[in-house]
């Protein structure tokens, strides 16, 4: 049996390694047009930021390693030009010699990955403009930074790569501007969480401009459509990626709805004996079952393993994608899993949303607050997605939530998770448990939440709403929601009887806890329509700021 794999980064090498574990007899060849293989693309921003000393640390394995450990032949500098699915062969060009030859296969795995999208901005071919997709891109950027020593950079696009690179270039002492055409940074997040991300780099002196249109790039600046000139000795285009599917489509392989290669759960394409995995392949969403394209290294390794298994007689089957991801920007961790509230609504769910701000561990051991936004289906209570922003402990909370969602967990299940606790690691009730309690109270405990967006909408529509600020009079004096009355929780017991029991009433404090206590008090006294403001004044302020731009 002869297996040919095209592409030798995350998916291709995972596929080949698994194929070898299944079969000692298979002849396995990987063609890779690049010179680097099996590298950590995810580590590249950290090399450019000086956290990884040597580029070689990102690609510790070479073809000799694969030959000796797996008996897999990796031919770098070899581009596959075409596939003949009937004759079961590929045409390959040796890029060093120019020789073109044909090689036959029994089974073929496409692991051709993705490439950076470069928007058609005039001046994008200037010598100071880069994308970051592979090791050669990274080395080009490193050389440019060392030789030209630009003092400023503009990053166009604010997905996770753009924000990671913002941190890296700041670490090199550069003045960084983030430019985003959408009204918010980190387009995958809901706006009310993205605003928290946006505010953070500004504190370190990063200029952030959203909703911009770019007219031109020059050798030392980016010029916006409104004429503003942004200093930019270096320009990084991080405006997303597109799957490399041309080779596949030319051979007759079908694409899916997302434009990536359509595969079944065994990573089989539409053509016999041809598999696809990693960034060139489409996935399906765990929650909706619908096709999605979430090109991530975590998924590429997984789907590569499945392709390698199934190509050699195995039966591993993919269980879907949640798009779980995390990144760090200047000390802030930003993570998400599952559907955003926007995606959930677009998918037809009636959503219940909560925001909870809690420390990752006790404050006496330096605990720092994170904000968790969680989304559940009102009809079933099923968790649909979560987003977390905070300095510490975000990684484990997002993974717990991703695990719960993967297994069809409901809001009510979160409170019962038996999570590890000791003061250096967590609080007695972990932030994840609180999230479950709040969601469950809203769903079944008759303790409904109102989001900041919903309250602002009511205010705009002039719908009568009694808004009670339950914080101290001093906090109220400093700032409060327009139209709110100040009734600190301790006072509320005395003055509740003077309030209208039938009015739509919203209670709030800074983060939601005292607001919830006030809500309980009123509901227990027979008030009918009392909502706690989800995430409290903090969330309201962030959303209002976002909406007023
Ligand atoms: P690729 O890495 O794109 O590799 C495909 C290979 O196929 C390429 O080397 C290409 O040269 C080769 N090829 C294509 N066509 C041919 C042909 N015709 N003939 C021969 N060879 C061919 N993911 C995460 O999960 N977490 C992160 O933190 C993260 N950070 C990232 C940071 C950066 C800066 C970047 C760029 C990506 C990051 N990713 C991250 C994404 C992750 O790196 C990719 O999802 C992963 O590399 C995909 O692996 P792949 O093997 O499918 O494709």
**Centre of ligand 1 from the C-alpha of residue 278, in Å:** 8
| pLDDT tens profile 147-192 | 999 999 999 999 999 999 999 999 999 999 999 999 999 999 999 9
Lowest-confidence pick of 152-156, 358-362, 415-419, 490-494 = 490-494
The answer to whether the CB of 103 falls within 8 A of the CB of 89 is yes
Residue identifier of the C-alpha nearest atom 29 of ligand 1 = 42
Count other C-beta atoms under 10 Å from residue 545's C-beta: 12
- 404 contact partners, CB below 8 Å, separation of at least 6: 383, 413, 414, 417
**What's the first-to-final CA gap in the chain, in angstroms?**
61
Percent of the chain with pLDDT over 90: 98
**Centre of ligand 1 from the C-alpha of residue 41, in Å:** 7
Pull the structure tokens for residue 380.
């079933």
Residue identifier of the C-alpha nearest atom 30 of ligand 1 = 42
CB neighbour class for 146 (10 Å; exposed up to 12, middle 13-18, buried from 19): exposed
Q: Give CA–CA dist 388/434, Å, rounded.
A: 13
Pull the structure tokens for residue 474.
């001093």
Residue to probe by mutation, ligand 1, list 31, 161, 188, 300, most atoms within 8 Å of CB: 300
**Centre of ligand 1 from the C-alpha of residue 144, in Å:** 23
Where are the alpha helices (H) located in 447-512, listed in sequence order? Answer: 452-461, 473-478, 489-495
Confidence label for 549 from pLDDT (cuts 50, 70 and 90): confident
* Mean pLDDT, residues 450-465: 95
Q: Who lines ligand 1 at CB under 6 A?
A: 6-7, 9-12, 31-34, 41-42, 44-45, 79-80, 111-114, 132-133, 161, 244, 247, 278-279, 295-298, 300
**Centre of ligand 1 from the C-alpha of residue 388, in Å:** 26
Q: Give CA–CA dist 223/231, Å, rounded.
A: 9
Residue 309 — φ and ψ, nearest 5°?
Answer: -70, -50
Confidence label for 353 from pLDDT (cuts 50, 70 and 90): very high
Relative to the CA of 44, which ligand 1 atom is closest?
Answer: 34
* Mean pLDDT, residues 325-332: 98
Q: Give CA–CA dist 179/210, Å, rounded.
A: 6
Report the pLDDT value the prediction gives residue 509, as an integer from 0 to 100. Answer: 97
**Centre of ligand 1 from the C-alpha of residue 281, in Å:** 12
Residue identifier of the C-alpha nearest atom 42 of ligand 1 = 297
Residue identifier of the C-alpha nearest atom 33 of ligand 1 = 42
Residue identifier of the C-alpha nearest atom 5 of ligand 1 = 113
**Centre of ligand 1 from the C-alpha of residue 241, in Å:** 10
Residue to probe by mutation, ligand 1, list 263, 279, 280, 282, most atoms within 8 Å of CB: 279
Confidence label for 360 from pLDDT (cuts 50, 70 and 90): very high
Residue identifier of the C-alpha nearest atom 14 of ligand 1 = 112
Relative to the CA of 7, which ligand 1 atom is closest?
Answer: 7
Residue identifier of the C-alpha nearest atom 31 of ligand 1 = 42
Relative to the CA of 303, which ligand 1 atom is closest?
Answer: 52
Pull the structure tokens for residue 76.
């770098």
Please tell me the number of Cα atoms within 13 Å of 305 on its side-chain side.
Answer: 10
| pLDDT tens profile 212-228 | 999 999 999 999 999 99
Residue identifier of the C-alpha nearest atom 53 of ligand 1 = 113
Relative to the CA of 40, which ligand 1 atom is closest?
Answer: 43
Q: Give CA–CA dist 302/34, Å, rounded.
A: 22
Residue identifier of the C-alpha nearest atom 39 of ligand 1 = 42
Q: Give CA–CA dist 277/107, Å, rounded.
A: 14
263-288: b (≥16 Cβ within 10 Å) or e: beebbbbbbeebbbbbbbbbbbbbbb
pTM, two decimal places: 0.95
Relative to the CA of 34, which ligand 1 atom is closest?
Answer: 11
Report the pLDDT value the prediction gives residue 446, as an integer from 0 to 100. Answer: 86
Residue identifier of the C-alpha nearest atom 12 of ligand 1 = 7
| pLDDT tens profile 528-537 | 999 999 999 9
- 480 contact partners, CB below 8 Å, separation of at least 6: 469, 486, 537
Instruction: Compute the C-alpha angle 281/284/287, nearest 5°.
Output: 155
**Centre of ligand 1 from the C-alpha of residue 112, in Å:** 8
Assess whether pLDDT exceeds 90 at residue 546: no
Report the pLDDT value the prediction gives residue 548, as an integer from 0 to 100. Answer: 85
Q: Which residues are catalytic?
A: 42
Residue to probe by mutation, ligand 1, list 7, 94, 142, 299, most atoms within 8 Å of CB: 7
What strands lie across the sheet with 207-210, from one edge to the other? 129-130, 234-237, 152-156, 175-180, 207-210
- Residue 223, SS3 per DSSP: strand
Find the radius of gyration of the CA atoms of the chain: 26
**Centre of ligand 1 from the C-alpha of residue 33, in Å:** 13
**Centre of ligand 1 from the C-alpha of residue 113, in Å:** 5
Relative to the CA of 133, which ligand 1 atom is closest?
Answer: 36
| pLDDT tens profile 223-254 | 999 999 999 999 999 999 999 999 999 999 99
Residue identifier of the C-alpha nearest atom 8 of ligand 1 = 7
The answer to whether the CB of 530 falls within 8 A of the CB of 520 is no
Residue to probe by mutation, ligand 1, list 9, 137, 260, most atoms within 8 Å of CB: 9
**Centre of ligand 1 from the C-alpha of residue 242, in Å:** 11
Residue to probe by mutation, ligand 1, list 55, 110, 112, most atoms within 8 Å of CB: 112
**Centre of ligand 1 from the C-alpha of residue 45, in Å:** 14
The answer to whether the CB of 153 falls within 8 A of the CB of 235 is yes
The answer to whether the CB of 103 falls within 8 A of the CB of 92 is yes
How is 507-541 classified by DSSP, letter by letter?
A: EE-SSSHHHHHHHHHHHHTT-SSEEEETTHHHHHH
The answer to whether the CB of 543 falls within 8 A of the CB of 535 is no
Confidence label for 445 from pLDDT (cuts 50, 70 and 90): confident
The answer to whether the CB of 312 falls within 8 A of the CB of 324 is no
* Mean pLDDT, residues 448-459: 95
Assess whether pLDDT exceeds 90 at residue 119: yes
């Amino acid at each position: 049996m002869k297996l040919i794999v095209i592409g030798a980064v995350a998916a291709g090498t995972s596929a080949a390694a698994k194929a070898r574990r299944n079969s000692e007899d298979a002849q396995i060849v990987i063609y890779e047009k690049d010179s680097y293989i099996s590298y950590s693309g995810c580590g590249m921003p950290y090399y450019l930021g000086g956290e990884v000393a040597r580029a070689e640390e990102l690609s510790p394995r070479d073809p000799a390693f694969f030959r000796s450990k797996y008996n897999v032949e990796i031919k770098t500098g070899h581009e596959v030009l075409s596939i003949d699915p009937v004759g079961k062969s590929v045409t390959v060009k040796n890029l060093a010699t120019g020789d073109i030859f044909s090689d036959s296969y029994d089974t073929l795995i496409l692991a051709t990955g993705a490439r950076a999208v470069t928007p058609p901005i005039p001046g994008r071919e200037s010598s100071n403009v880069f994308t970051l997709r592979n090791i050669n891109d990274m080395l080009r950027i490193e050389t440019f930074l060392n030789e030209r020593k630009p003092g400023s950079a503009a990053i166009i696009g604010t997905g996770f790569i753009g924000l990671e690179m913002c941190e890296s270039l700041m670490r090199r002492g550069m003045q960084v501007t983030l430019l985003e055409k959408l009204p918010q940074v980190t387009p995958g997040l809901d706006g009310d969480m993205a605003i928290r991300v946006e505010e953070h780099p500004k504190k370190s002196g990063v200029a952030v401009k959203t909703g911009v249109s770019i007219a031109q790039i020059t050798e030392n600046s980016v010029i916006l459509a409104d004429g503003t000139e942004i200093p930019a000795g270096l320009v990084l285009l991080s405006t997303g990626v597109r799957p490399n599917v041309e080779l596949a489509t030319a051979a007759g392989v079908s694409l899916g709805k997302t434009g990536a290669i359509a595969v079944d759960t065994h990573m089989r394409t539409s053509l016999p004996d041809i598999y696809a995995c990693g960034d060139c392949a489409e996935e399906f969403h765990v929650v909706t079952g619908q096709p999605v394209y979430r090109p991530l290294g975590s998924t590429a390794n997984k789907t590569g393993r499945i392709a390698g298994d199934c190509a050699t007689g195995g039966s591993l089957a993919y269980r879907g994608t949640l798009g779980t991801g995390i990144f760090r920007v200047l000390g802030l961790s930003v993570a998400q899993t599952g559907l955003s509230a926007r995606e959930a609504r677009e998918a037809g769910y009636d959503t219940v949303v909560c925001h909870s701000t809690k420390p990752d561990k006790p404050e006496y051991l330096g605990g720092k607050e994170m904000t968790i936004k969680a989304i559940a289906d009102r009809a079933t209570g099923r968790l649909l997605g979560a987003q977390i922003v905070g300095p510490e402990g975000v990684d484990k909370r997002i993974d717990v939530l991703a695990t719960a969602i993967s297994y069809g967990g409901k809001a009510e299940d979160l409170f019962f998770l038996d999570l590890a606790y000791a003061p250096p690691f967590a609080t007695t009730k972990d932030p994840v448990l609180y999230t479950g309690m709040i969601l469950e109270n809203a769903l079944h405990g008759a303790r409904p939440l109102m989001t900041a967006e919903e309250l602002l909408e009511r205010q705009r529509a002039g719908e009568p709403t009694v808004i009670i600020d339950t914080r101290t009079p001093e906090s109220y004096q400093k700032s409060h929601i327009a139209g709110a009355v100040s009734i600190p929780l301790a006072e509320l017991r005395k003055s509740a009887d003077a309030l209208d029991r039938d009015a739509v009433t919203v209670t709030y404090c800074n983060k939601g806890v005292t607001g919830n206590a006030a809500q309980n008090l009123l509901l227990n006294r027979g008030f009918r329509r009392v909502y706690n403001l989800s995430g409290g004044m903090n969330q309201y302020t962030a959303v209002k700021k976002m909406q007023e731009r």
